[in-house]
């Protein structure tokens, strides 16, 4: 695949293609060795680093063609190293954001996880009594949703934005959890 990428890049500039292909062939082992050392912990793919470095070399080939061997080697190794650090910082920033994303995702996927069994322990009367204790707007939105209406339909019926309906229903669920948990603790005492 790496070879195909270089051939594709070379095909775009046939005039200097032989010179660039030679540069690629000559420096690829050095670049791959450096890339493997830098990415020994598996944070970045060595082949990707080499490909991106060679792509940059192709863009700057007019300057590299006339440079000395030491200057080319220095430019290629510096470019590869800088790209590694860019990718490393990017991945580290993504990793730092992951715990917060996991927390949001777990709440979004199943906010009632672990409470399903508790909900079933309450009689219909107890549940209706808890619903009756909700704030009026929350109760009305919750009851309409329980009847099968969609948020949009509830919003039209109540004359409020759809987002408000979602917030009211979410708050109603939160209040119900609190009321039923409170009732459950009182029952077990």
pLDDT greater than 60 at residue 36: yes
Instruction: For residue 53, name the pLDDT band (cuts at 50, 70, 90).
Output: very high
- Domain finish residue from 90, 108, 126: 108
As a whole number, mean pLDDT of residues 94-110 equals 57
C-alpha 53/C-alpha 77 separation (Å) is: 8
H helix runs in 15-159, sequence order: 17-38, 46-59, 61-65, 69-109, 116-120, 124-132, 136-146, 151-158
Give me the pLDDT at residue 64, please: 86
Number of domains in the chain: 2
**Among 93, 108, 123, which residue terminates a domain?**
108
Written as six digits, the tokens of 88 are 């490393």
- Mean pLDDT value of segment 86-99: 76
Q: How far is CA 28 from the centre of its chain?
A: 32
Confidence (pLDDT) at 19: 85
Give the CATH number of the domain where residue 145 resides: 1.10.10.10
Instruction: Summarize pLDDT for 110-154 with one digit per residue, the tens.
Output: 444 545 555 566 677 887 888 899 999 999 998 898 888 889 999
CA 60 – CA 72 distance, rounded (Å): 11
The stretch 35-61 carries a mean pLDDT of 86
Res 110: pLDDT: 45
The answer to whether the beta carbons of residues 95 and 49 sit under 8 Å apart is no
Predicted confidence band of residue 161 (pLDDT cuts 50, 70, 90): very high
User: What is the maximum alpha-carbon separation in the chain?
Assistant: 87
What is the spatial distance between Cα 177 and Cα 131, in angstroms, rounded to a whole number?
10
Residue-range definition of the domain harbouring residue 8: 2-108
Same domain, 79 and 96: yes
Q: Do both 86 and 153 map to the same domain?
A: no
Mean pLDDT in residue range 33-57? 86
Q: So what's the pLDDT on residue 182?
A: 77
Residues 124 and 101 in one domain: no
- On whether both 12 and 93 belong to a single domain, the answer is yes
Place of tokens 């970045």: 44
Answer yes or no: is pLDDT of 80 > 70.
yes
Mean pLDDT for the chain overall: 79
CB 154 within 8 A of CB 163: no
Mean per-residue pLDDT, 68-85: 91
Which DSSP category does 13 fall into?
-
Does position 49 have pLDDT exceeding 80, yes or no? Answer: yes
The answer on 66 and 19 residing in a single domain is yes
Tokens of 59: 């863009």
Of 54, 75, 108, the domain-final residue: 108
In the predicted model, what is the mean pLDDT of residues 155-173?
A: 92
pLDDT at 31: 93
- pLDDT at residue 111, as a whole number: 45
pLDDT the model gives residue 105: 47
Distance between CA atoms of residues 155 and 99, nearest Å: 34
């Amino acid at each position: 695949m790496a070879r195909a990428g270089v051939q594709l890049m070379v095909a775009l500039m046939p005039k200097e293609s032989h010179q660039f292909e030679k540069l690629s062939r000559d420096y690829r082992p050095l670049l791959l060795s450096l890339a493997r050392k830098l990415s020994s912990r598996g944070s970045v793919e060595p082949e990707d680093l080499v490909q991106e470095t060679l792509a940059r070399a192709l863009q700057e080939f007019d300057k590299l063609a006339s440079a000395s061997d030491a200057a080319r080697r220095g430019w290629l190794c510096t470019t590869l190293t800088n790209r590694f650090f860019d990718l490393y910082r990017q991945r580290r920033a993504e990793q730092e954001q992951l715990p917060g994303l996991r927390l949001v995702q777990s709440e979004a996927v199943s906010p009632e996880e672990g409470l399903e069994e508790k909900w079933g322990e309450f009689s219909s009367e107890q549940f209706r009594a808890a619903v009756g204790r909700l704030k009026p707007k929350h109760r009305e939105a919750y009851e309409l949703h329980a009847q099968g209406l969609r948020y949009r339909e509830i919003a039209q019926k109540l004359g409020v934005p759809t987002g408000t309906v979602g917030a009211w229903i979410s708050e109603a669920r939160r209040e119900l959890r609190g009321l039923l948990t409170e009732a459950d603790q009182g029952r077990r005492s």
